[in-house]
Amino acid sequence: MTQEPVDVLIIGAGASGAAFAWSLADTRMHVLCLEQGGTPDPQTFPTTGRDWEARRLGDFALSPNQRRLPEDYPINDDGSAIKVANFNGVGGGTVLYAAHFPRMHPSDFRVHSLDGVADDWPVDYRTLEPFFAENDRMMGVAGLAGDPAYPSGKAPPMSPGPMGRSGRALANGFNALGWHWWPCDLAIATQEYDGRAPCINLGACISGCAQGAKGSVDITYWPQALRKGVELRTHCRVREITVGPDGMATGVIYFDRDGQEQFQAAHVVVLASNGIGTPRLLLNSTSGQFPDGLANSSGMVGRNLMFHPYASIQGIFDTPMDGHNGPHKSILSQQFYETDPARGFVRGYTFETSRGLGPVATAVMGMEWGHIPWGADHHGAYRQLQDRVTGLFAICEDLPEDHNCVTLDPDLTDSHGIPAPRIDYTLSDNSKKMLAHAIARGTEAMQAAGAKQVVTSAPIPLAGWHQMGTARMGADPARSVVNEWGRAHDVRNLFIVDGSIFVTSGGVNPTSTLQALALYIASQIKNRLANLFD
């Protein structure tokens, strides 16, 4: 069945698709978003029941290969040191993220100029600054104004979340070492905000926030976008983007909720399907004009995949900490964010604090660490560990490398027969050195904070929730997929607004930056409506 043409068709209702749809709705064009998953129901979130930790291994697992829900697609990540984590549905990854909301630094956009590696972005921090601020307002960010990491500081709309016992202990450790730290920016309401109730410290942020305090786009951008007239169709899985004789995108072929194949015509197509889903769809959209995949004359689609390698530094304390209660994050340190040649690697990382473990995770991890034996001492050992573990996670910048890539698996398909993505990814020597440095410095910080024992690991295997670089932006069509305002070099009415357009990864969570980019691209389109396809 063929649907009447829409002005703008967005594929994906996650962080970037939602922000883009909300902004472009100002034009009064017919904007349609297709999402392969459904709309989350907060009443079904794990945080509404006592089995919330068990459900993290089932229907709310981070890995789609573990969830295996109808809206998920399998991912062959056997050839990757880091396994993919995502969520398919309205809200995308923001439904399961911890809502840590730092911005990329100004230096992150000028890596080649500063450090002689990777490439500079065709946009800079100053260009994106107003869109960062607008996004903070829409998502409801809490934090402390004046962070010196940014040229003019920042002024989040709400005051910061609680530091808690764990945050204060680690802040004391950073102080003892003379290291900079700052309260985290969190997309978590600390007061009544835009119809949302404040955080009540349930703690299980990455299992969906039943309170509605966490700024996931299903409750921030989407309600406003829908009121503006944006159309959202759920349970619609796109198979391919079609093109006409002139090389312009004409629409998409998709499967509806009944499994029926449909064609939706569109004047403009926008991809917001994350750093794995976007190259998968482009590579699956082959034709006589684009035999190697849509918008892929450069051969860069799927190349330069970046994750954030994570190091885990867990401290065991004699005194009670917060356990899992409170927002997942409280403070960060970016003492080692910028390049220092003496360290033996380029770029750097952020230390993020983590509250602690839930009761089930305490038991499981305690036994893995050898702290909880079977037998008579089992319960006593458990009590000595419960609520006495807190952690640091080092989020390390990942440099783009051509061989780290997303391709189509020759055998694996989803439930509609669409080829699944295959991930090939290895850690670089630079990342390995950075992880080792982070483990050593993190151990120092934990010990300075008073931890009696420190348990470390790196990289964390299931940490591929930040997927970047597989359809990068740039001025040179031979080295990039989209231009400086998100338009494909090869297809003038095709745009990409998700993390796949990142040129470098930075050493921070990408959500704030990718949403600012989506708002920036929407603004560029609105400013060019009269001659959009020239």
pTM of the model: 0.96
At 153, the pLDDT band (50, 70, 90 cuts) reads confident
Please name which of 386, 392, 395, 393 lies closest in space to residue 325, comparing C-alpha atoms: 386
Q: Which amino acid is at 370?
A: G
At 78, the pLDDT band (50, 70, 90 cuts) reads very high
Q: What is the 3-state secondary structure (H, E, C) of 479-525?
A: CCCECCCCEECCCCCEEECCHHHCCCCCCCCCHHHHHHHHHHHHHHH
At 1, the pLDDT band (50, 70, 90 cuts) reads low
Residue pLDDT, tens place only, 243-294: 999 999 999 999 999 999 999 999 999 999 999 999 999 999 999 999 999 9
What DSSP character marks residue 270?
A: E
What DSSP character marks residue 5?
A: E
Residue pLDDT, tens place only, 100-117: 999 999 999 999 999 999
* Residue appearing with tokens 């300075």: 448
Domain chopping of the chain, boundaries: 2-356+388-531
**Contact between residue 522 and residue 270 where contact means Cβ atoms under 8 Å apart:** no
In this structure, what token pair is assigned to residue 82?
């880091």
Q: How far apart are CA 62 and CA 464, in angstroms?
A: 9
The mean per-residue pLDDT over the stretch 217-236 comes to 98
In this structure, what token pair is assigned to residue 388?
């006495």
pLDDT-wise least confident of 226-235, 375-384, 446-455:
375-384
Q: Where are the beta strands (DSSP E) in 133-230?
A: 182-183
Please name which of 135, 126, 186, 156 lies closest in space to residue 353, comparing C-alpha atoms: 186
Q: How far apart are CA 326 and CA 200, in angstroms?
A: 7
Per-residue burial over 15-30, b if 16 or more Cβ lie within 10 Å, else e, is bbbbbbbbbbbeeebb
**Contact between residue 132 and residue 116 where contact means Cβ atoms under 8 Å apart:** no
* Residue appearing with tokens 């909720």: 257
Please name which of 362, 353, 361 lies closest in space to residue 388, comparing C-alpha atoms: 362
Please list the residues that pair with 395 across neighbouring strands. Answer: 310, 350
How high is the mean pLDDT of the chain? 95
pLDDT of residue 515: 98
Residue pLDDT, tens place only, 434-479: 999 999 999 999 999 999 999 999 999 988 999 999 999 999 999 9
Residues in the chain: 534
pLDDT-wise least confident of 46-60, 114-128, 376-390:
46-60
> What are the residue ranges of helices labelled H in 141-289?
164-177, 221-227, 274-284
In this structure, what token pair is assigned to residue 63?
């890995």
Superfamily for the 2-356+388-531 domain:
FAD/NAD(P)-binding domain (3.50.50.60)
At 56, the pLDDT band (50, 70, 90 cuts) reads confident
Provide the 10 A C-beta neighbour count for residue 195.
Answer: 9
pLDDT of residue 217: 98
Please name which of 357, 310, 334 lies closest in space to residue 466, comparing C-alpha atoms: 310
Backbone CA torsion sign across 130, 133, 134, 135: positive
**Contact between residue 192 and residue 85 where contact means Cβ atoms under 8 Å apart:** no
